[in-house]
Amino acid sequence: MRVVAVGECTEDRYVDLGVEKTGGTSLNFAVHARACGADSVALVSCTGTDAAAAATRRLLARADVDATHVHVLPGETASQAIRIDEGGERVFPPGGYAPGVLADFRLGAADLAFVARFDVVAGTYFRQVAHLFGPAMAAAAPGAVRVADFLDGQDLGPGFSGLEAWLAALDLAFVSGPEEHVEGLLRRSMHTRTLLVVTHGAGGSSALVGGRRIHQPAVPVPAEARVDTTGCGDAFQAAFTVSYVRDRNVPAALRAGAERAALVIRHLGATGD
């Protein structure tokens, strides 16, 4: 199984701790997919020319993730400010995301040809990287599994109205949020071949298939062991995707995702590095 993640890598800045960690939704997905048994994994993204860029390449090398299409542009690597609340819950302060060089990065012909070589193409959709998502999905080869992370769905519009435009092109779509998200998406699952998965944090996860819901509780982690929830969702998605593409067993994939997320929460940083 060959997996490529297209989108962002960031410097995660823990503002109350004075600590920086390498992260970003696409990088996190790539690192965890490789750790979960994908045969080969690559990241297509862009860094700046700062210290965060060097840290990104060191982490990708340690994780055995192909970085040949992680480009470099003059300027700063994207960054995300993070605060850690009680129980290790991560909080993104308003205005804490800076896209840096990702704002100007575009996928070139060589990147699109590279993406077409993979069995699984995973992309993240939110406002600052939406210009990368569409081209990446379009570049996927016939028969490739197309995977989308829509985060909390806010950039899809009210009621996830923008989701409809993407469903026909996707095989697997993730959204994070509360139980209230399930009802509306459950109706949508009756009219699409796309497997919809909603992650609820400590509330577990739900796979929505043909109008049917399959729920998986979160793997319990003792309160004293919960350090940082940053990247738990990315880890869940990577583990779910690798398991599902391999076996097409939804309950097993949900369990794999829950187990991976339970490992990540025990460490500061999204990759456990």
Report the CATH number at residue 135: 3.40.1190.20
Predicted pLDDT of residue 158:
87
How would you class 118 by CB atoms within 10 Å of its CB: exposed for 0-12, middle for 13-18, buried for 19 or more?
buried
In a domain, 271, yes or no: no
In a domain, 21, yes or no: yes
Alpha helices (runs of H) in the chain, residue ranges in sequence order: 25-35, 51-63, 109-115, 130-139, 164-167, 180-189, 232-247, 250-264
In a domain, 270, yes or no: no
pTM, two decimals, is 0.96
In a domain, 260, yes or no: yes
Largest CA distance in the chain: 49
Predicted pLDDT of residue 156:
86
> pLDDT tens, position by position, for the chain (273 residues)?
999 999 999 999 999 999 999 999 999 999 999 999 999 999 999 999 999 999 999 999 999 999 999 999 999 999 999 999 988 999 999 999 999 999 999 999 999 999 999 999 999 999 899 999 999 999 999 999 999 999 988 888 888 888 888 988 999 999 998 888 888 898 888 889 999 999 999 899 999 999 999 999 999 999 999 999 999 999 999 999 999 999 999 999 999 999 999 999 999 999 977
In a domain, 273, yes or no: no
In a domain, 119, yes or no: yes
Instruction: Give Cβ neighbours of residue 95 (< 8 Å, ≥ 6 apart).
Output: none
In a domain, 30, yes or no: yes
Residues 29-60, buried b or exposed e (16+ Cβ, 10 A)?
A: bbbbbbbbebebbbbbbbbbebebbebbeebb
Q: Which two tokens stand for residue 94?
A: 């308003």
d(CA 132, CA 146): 14
Give the domain range for residue 128.
2-264
Predicted pLDDT of residue 87:
83
Query: Which position has the token pair 């989308």?
Result: 148
Chain-centroid distance of CA 254 in Å reads 15
How many structural domains does the chain have? Answer: 1
**In terms of DSSP bridges, do strands 79-84 and 97-98 run parallel, antiparallel, or are they unpaired?**
antiparallel
In a domain, 27, yes or no: yes
Predicted pLDDT of residue 271:
92
Beta partners for 172? 147, 195
